[in-house]
Amino acid sequence: MNPQFLGRNVFDLDDYSREEILYILEAAKGMKEINLREYKKIPTLRGKTVCTLFVENSTRTRMSFELAANRLSADVVSFQASVSALQKGESLQDTVYTLNAMGIDLYCIRHSSPGSPQMVNKYSGKPVINGGDGRHAHPTQALLDIFSIWEKLGSLKGLKVTIVGDILNSRVVRSNLIGMQKLGAKVTVCGPKTLMPGNMESVYGCKVEYDLARALSGADVVMGLRMQLERMSEGLFPSLEEYSKHYVLSAETLKYAKKNALIMHPGPMNRGVEILPEIADSSQSVIVEQVANGVAIRMALMFLILGGKA
Amino acid sequence: MKIIIKNAEVYIAGKLVKKDLLIDRKRIAKIENRIDEKADKMIDARGCCVFPGFIDLHAHLRDPGQTYKEDIVSGTKSAAKGGFTAVCAMPNTEPVTDNIASVEYIQLRAKEHGSARVYVVGALTKQSKGEEISEMATMKSGGIVAVSDDGKCVQNARLMLSCLRYASNFDIPVIVHPEDYALAGKGQIHGGKVATQTGLSGISGLAEEVIIARDIMLAESAGARLHIAHISTAKSLELVRAAKAKGLPVTCEVTPHHLVLTEEACLTFDTNTKMKPPLRSEKDRQACVEALKEGLIDCIATDHAPHADFEKEREFDHAPFGIIGFETAFAVLYQELVLKGIISLETLVDSLTSRPAQTLRLPGGEIKPGGMADITIINLKEKTLFSKENIASKSKNSPWLERELASRVLYTIVGGNISYQDQ
């Protein structure tokens, strides 16, 4: 048990130091080993109750959190609602009061509104892991991304990481910028100007490129992001075809990156839009492994926050 | 009733002078070095300042229709507690104050039960829908001081031109809430650094500036008086500067929060930092302060916008825009701007008194023999704990909750009646 992590919230990675992030990675390494066993369960969180509170749909992330809790022997309850249901009926505040009365020890929340994890913590007084809040943050995704690089390449120090796609709407990018740069990586973000938030350089100290070849030049790690069709109706880009012509990760465009550069994607992928299958399924790709690492990272966080016994 | 205020520092023509003051019924009867008459009440104001009652050109009293947030009684109590003796009630009530009967309802309630004067702002368009011109001439004969669709903004430039021409016909000032809906989009906070950081949707300064540019041009063509509500960006101020340089009858106001807070406040996701226009960048804030100092901004207005706790205790995206303002306006600005030597006490007081009065041609705003007995007595050396328990407004939505603020309002006198007295 490390008292440093006990009862902490994971709203985003800015609350965690470089050393703490490295500690979490080490813990996750141990958890990953458990996931490879035939009997994938340890009794460390017996008697604790974890609630997954998902106000925005995400089957994959919810499963990952629930699996993580299950493998640590915590009891898991799941609350799912749509934003519209919460709008019409019980407020988030009342929902949390209700859940809390049932004795929840840790909340894992996904919500379309930035800042909602902070609200859940305020109303419950219990630690909260942010499973994605709007465009704001997705710290567990960033940690599993970082873990995937760290595991393969040993360290992030001095690595050039290029993230390509809809930067404007990506919480994954925001958390990764904070986390990866804390560990010494140099991050370049790339996408069309209409999908790039303002002030990226001054807020995050990252590099911004609008041209894919320049962005990929010399990259050690390349991450694609999901391009969503609805951005078209918002007047932000004209067509998936045109987007793909300029920003797809293909064998051709990846020639600019370092040979054997690590290929990542937080999923779900639009094959043929932001990434070609030849790349997604290549030996350089860690996309499937990212998913496995997600369970390990979430186990590590729950273990540390709830003070599991090693 | 006769009230004598003794030993006060009285704010007369921009200066504090040690005087005694006699109030006889609704008027200030005498201002002399020493007054020793018999009176119904004697207030020893040693160590305190007597200012003209503050005048707020921009407030939401929520009455009729949303009286769980505020009503005319609680709203004017809150105003008086903050030193305000007159407030302008915006017409976004339910139903919208777009007709003479609604205007008279507010006036009557305020007259019978109010703790401050209430001037009514009528709607610019019917139901503030931005479709047809309201019966503003009739409302003017009923006493409205301006027209506005505040909270909303007429998007159709042709209709706006027509509204301005019609208003100028009857010499009614038009107050515009400058917001281009398409540019503002689903924005929650300023479209700047903090929006990038938090992922909250941004409202670019352009959403405000585009409409200000448009309405200045339209008002010039119409020959109308245009007052710009809650100005908030450096570029907006440049547009106003150009209009004023041309001699156009364009005025503007700024809120206390845009003078002291920036987008950084939104990093906490406290929904009491969510308002329209949003808290802007530090550069914009500084531009507002400078413009206030130089007189480019005509006055300070609170945009007092009460919302119930259950409405504000929502996800940031779903919480309503706005904060209450009466009870913190003077104290916050005195503490953050005057005490820190950024603006003078004179600028602050004038921006809350004579200047708003001039802007909409309202009575009051100064202390003079024979003048209206609308005053507030404030101790600048004391402090006030601004806590939920002692807020007079029905709503508690303020970014300054539980903060100790410099200065304390001891009395507010409206038309010779004590409408607020510190306990």
pLDDT per residue as tens, chain A (310 positions)? 788 999 999 999 999 999 999 999 999 999 999 999 999 999 999 999 999 999 988 889 999 999 999 999 999 999 988 766 676 778 899 999 999 999 999 999 999 999 999 999 999 999 999 999 999 999 999 999 999 999 999 999 999 999 999 999 999 999 999 999 999 999 999 999 999 999 999 999 999 999 999 999 999 999 999 998 777 778 888 999 999 999 999 999 999 999 999 999 998 999 999 999 999 999 999 999 999 999 999 999 999 999 977 6
Same domain for A238 and A181: yes
Annotated active-site residue in B98, B303, B350, B374: B303
DSSP, residue by residue, A168-237: TT-HHHHHHHHHHHHTT-EEEEE--GGGS-TTHHHHH--EEESSHHHHHTT-SEEEE-PPPTHHHHTTS-
Q: Is B40 exposed, middle or buried (0-12, 13-18, 19+ CB in 10 A)?
A: exposed
3 state DSSP class of A291: helix
pLDDT for A235: 85
Q: If you count them, how many residues does chain B have?
A: 423
**Nearest-neighbour CA in chain B from A251: distance (Å):** 32
| Domains observed in chain B | 2-49+372-382+404-421 (2.30.40.10), 53-359 (3.20.20.140)
For the beta carbon of residue A161, count every other beta carbon within 10 angstroms: 26
* B309 vs A contacts (CB less than 8 Å): none
Same domain for A177 and A58: no
Q: If you count them, how many residues does chain A have?
A: 310
* A92 vs B contacts (CB less than 8 Å): 314-315
The reply to whether A283 falls in a domain is: yes
- A115 vs B310: CB contact, 8 Å cut-off? no
Residue of B194, B269, B281 best to disrupt the A interface, most CBs of A under 10 A:
B269
* Cross-chain CB nearest to A114 (options B191, B200, B310): B200
Is the CA virtual torsion B377, B383, B388, B389 positive or negative?
A: negative
The reply to whether A7 falls in a domain is: no
* Cross-chain CB nearest to A135 (options B199, B268, B315): B199
Structure token pair of residue B323: 């904060």
The reply to whether A98 falls in a domain is: yes
The reply to whether A224 falls in a domain is: yes
Same domain for A265 and A160: yes
Residue A95 φ then ψ, to 5°:
-60, -45
Mapping DSSP onto H, E and C, the string for chain B reads: CEEEEEEEEEEECCEEEEEEEEEECCEEEEEECCCCCCCCEEEECCCCEEEECEEEEEECCCCCCCCCCCCHHHHHHHHHHCCEEEEEECCCCCCCCCCHHHHHHHHHHHHHHCCCEEEEEEECEHHHCCCCECCHHHHHHCCCCEEECCCCCCCCHHHHHHHHHHHHHCCCCEEECCCCHHHHCCCCEECCHHHHHHCCCEECHHHHHHHHHHHHHHHHHHCCCEEECCCCCHHHHHHHHHHHHCCCCEEEEECHHHHHCCHHHHHHCCHHHCCCCCCCCHHHHHHHHHHHHHCCCCEECCCECCCCHHHHCCCHHHCCCCCCCCCCHHHHHHHHHHCCCCCCHHHHHHHHCHHHHHHCCCCCCCCCCCCECCEEEEEEEEEEEECHHHCCCCCCCCCCCCEEEEEEEEEEEECCEEEEECC
Residue of B188, B194, B196, B203 best to disrupt the A interface, most CBs of A under 10 A:
B196
pLDDT per residue as tens, chain B (423 positions)? 999 999 999 999 999 999 999 999 999 999 999 999 999 999 999 999 999 999 999 999 999 999 999 999 999 999 999 999 999 999 999 999 999 999 999 999 999 999 999 999 999 999 999 999 999 999 999 999 999 999 999 999 999 999 999 999 999 999 999 999 999 999 999 999 999 999 999 999 999 999 999 999 999 999 999 999 999 999 999 999 999 999 999 999 999 999 999 999 999 999 999 999 999 999 999 999 999 999 999 999 999 999 999 999 999 999 999 999 999 999 999 999 999 999 999 999 999 999 999 999 999 999 999 999 999 999 999 999 999 999 999 999 999 999 999 999 999 999 999 999 998
- B315 vs A92: CB contact, 8 Å cut-off? yes
Same domain for A241 and A202: yes
pLDDT for A84: 64
3 state DSSP class of A95: helix
Same domain for A146 and A118: no
The reply to whether A1 falls in a domain is: no
Structure token pair of residue A174: 């925001």
* Cross-chain CB nearest to A199 (options B193, B199, B318): B193
Same domain for A48 and A91: yes
Query: How many domains is chain A built from?
Result: 2
- B269 vs A171: CB contact, 8 Å cut-off? no
Same domain for A98 and A197: no
Identify the CATH number of the domain in which residue A110 sits: 3.40.50.1370
Task: Name residues whose C-beta falls within 8 Å of residue B6's C-beta, 6 or more positions apart in sequence.
Answer: B20, B35, B42, B43, B44, B45, B46
Residue A87 domain boundaries:
13-138+291-305
Same domain for A169 and A271: yes
The reply to whether A8 falls in a domain is: no
Same domain for A246 and A129: no
ipTM of the complex: 0.92
Same domain for A143 and A283: yes
What is the spatial distance between Cα B251 and Cα B215, in angstroms, rounded to a whole number? Answer: 12
Residue B352 φ then ψ, to 5°:
-105, -5
* B193 vs A contacts (CB less than 8 Å): 198-199, 202-203
Residue of A15, A88, A116 best to disrupt the B interface, most CBs of B under 10 A:
A116
Looking at residue A258, the DSSP 8-state letter turns out to be P
The reply to whether A144 falls in a domain is: yes
**Closest chain A residue by Cα to residue B192:** A198
The reply to whether A3 falls in a domain is: no
* B312 vs A contacts (CB less than 8 Å): none
* A118 vs B contacts (CB less than 8 Å): 268-269
Same domain for A93 and A233: no
Same domain for A187 and A51: no
Active site residue B40: no
* A112 vs B contacts (CB less than 8 Å): 317
- A134 vs B199: CB contact, 8 Å cut-off? yes
Tens of pLDDT, residues B68-123: 999 999 999 999 999 999 999 999 999 999 999 999 999 999 999 999 999 999 99
- B199 vs A113: CB contact, 8 Å cut-off? no
Confirm if A107 and A129 have CB atoms less than 8 A apart.
yes
